[in-house]
Chain A
Amino acid sequence: MKSQIKILCYCTLAFALAGCAPSASTRPDTKGGAGSTPGAAGSGTDSRAGEGGRGGARESDTGASSLKQLQEGKSPITPGSSPLKDVYFDFDRYDLSADARTVLRANADWLKANSGARVEIEGHCDERGTNEYNLALGAKRAQAAREYLTSLGVAAGRLSTISYGEEIPVCKEQTDACWRQNRRARLVILQDRPTS
């Protein structure tokens, strides 16, 4: 699976912390210290958080919230360069598969290394079934991801959840492949919170 390769790739990079952005030339100041203004590294959307969470983890690293993307007419897709990867679920399920746990462990590592980042976990569903049930199911998916991340040592206070049910799909065709992409928990960096 392509996503698994990406995950492995990411893990390696996360540990090495060589800056996992495709364009490593814009690595931000990782030693900026407490006073550094988050996001001061110009307009670079691929600026990356530095070790220890003192750099600015940015909303643009993960893409904005799916609602904001919808409002701006953009796809709520998580960019391939995002340090926080989507996790996927089976139809009408909210338990975490082995794959999902692998992805979340990598996400947890990044979150622990970037302790300034506050993250909203979005629960999404495919279009099948009724809207309200899917809102509840999406909430379960987001919560399952949140609980696993906290069990791995990420502070619960940094993780909020929201469910968009089937309302903001990333793929709109009526195919199994498309539905699979929509049954996800997506992690979005809410804002910079530099350690002081």
Chain B
Amino acid sequence: MSDEILLNEAAYAVWQTVKERGPIELGEVVKLTGVDQAQVSAAATEASQIGFFAITETDRDELTVSEGARGLIEAGLPEFRAAQKLNESGGKLAMSDFAAWAKETGIAVNDAIKWGTARGTIERAKGDRGAVLVLTAAGKSSLDKPDVDVGLLKKLNYQGSCFLDELPAADEPKRVTDLLAKRPELAKIKKRTARTLALTPQGITVLDSGRARKIIERNTLTPEDLESGAWREIKLRPYDVTLAAKDVYPAKIHPLRKIIEQTRRAFLEMGFAEVVSPMVESAFWNFDALFQPQDHPARDMQDTFYMRDPAVAPLPGEDSDQLRIADCGLRIEGGKSEIRNPKPEIVDNVRRTHEDGWETGSEGWGYTWSPEVSRQVVLRTHTTAATIRALAAHCGRGGGPPGSLPLAAHSSGSHPPGKFFCVGWTYRNETISFKHLPVFHQVDGIIIDEEANLASLMGTLQEFYSKMGFGRVKFKPAFYPYTEPSVDVVVYMESRGKWIEMGGAGIFRPEVTLPLGCKYPVLAWGLGIERLAMIRFGLSDIRELYRPSLDALEGVPLWR
């Protein structure tokens, strides 16, 4: 039924009460239903707006008993005590005697005379020796019974309020008003707008026809409500949907991990195989294989972490037992290393390349290469250690020792092209600051290919950086020790409106690739993950990336 009137429990009670008792004053409805005044008022207003209630407003005098009234009356109002005294004194007393008595008993003379006069119980008169106070006849007869105002207050039990127009004539509402209007210590009389509620004829029809139905209003439904069908009678209270709700956060991947995963995906999508190398690495793979001379400053104790244990690592082809004390047991159970140990001759190739250039067409560094220095164990200083191992493993699969530039040699005993990348921890012996951590992540990628050249390096970098979210890329000459030519990648940051240096790249020197048996030029590039993350997240302090504060971690959205 479209014109059904749905009433919540409170409104329904109001309707019923008004039907049974109306016309009825609103306060009365409050008393009878136990519904609070605001709800009764809201239900009545709503009902009158749709024409089912008639609300009559009248101005009425309401008397409210003051808090101290009982005490004052039970102690005896001053005019009553004055009347008693006059009666005891034979009906009259000289004013001076009265004043002396009043002072003694702590009664205000003026109050006693003023209210006694108002009640008509006391009068001032002229005596032989000055003014006297006289108990009137009315006063005498009133000694035994209280006046109407006091009677009313007593009837109200000295609390609450009443409307004066409701008092029976016997209570003399007029006299009560006169006596109490200006006596706030006993009661206050105020004009009040009283609302009287009544059903209109339509209201009666609606109610009688059953079209006004009771419904229950609630904040939530219980499973019982849903099961029993009681939900039909239940109205869920509407909410202010614009108000804020409580903040919640999902459990999520670490923001830095997110960037690592994005980087890995970029490489995987471009056809790269992921490779790894040990964090605890030999100087041979970390430095020597990259044609870093053994006196290079990057190899200083100042810059590189050297290991005390393990302190020595065998060179490719050497037996580790010859280098270490044999009786140290294993402590991690598990499978075997996945690194293919490349051919032992690469050690000699590397040595000779350092010393005089070997067959690489280079002049070499012109010093005597030391295998001891190369066996030192470091914490890898770059992930190039991983890609160079992958290069050696990949190229060691075929072909004899190379003879000239990698470009020229690919015809005999060739190996397939290869693309490899590694993301991992790298270590530098640094102190901690907002700029530096002693350990951070790098990513390195290499392409071993007949068509590898500076132009394809730039094309690959453009593709890679575009996958990393940098659509605009430019290249600058740079100088890196093991690539020639070397390139710095500069990317455009839309959000900051400027170009920033992002990573290095180049083509491995033949002194790097030929000793490992590589037949093709090799493109190589890398970048620091933390630097990328700082730029992405707008951080100026690298340490922030590793603060495990949940507040901070929750504050970084997964995508932006």
The finding on whether chains A and B are genuine partners in a shared complex, rather than unrelated, reads: no
Residues of B within 8 A of A (CB): none
Residues of A within 8 A of B (CB): none
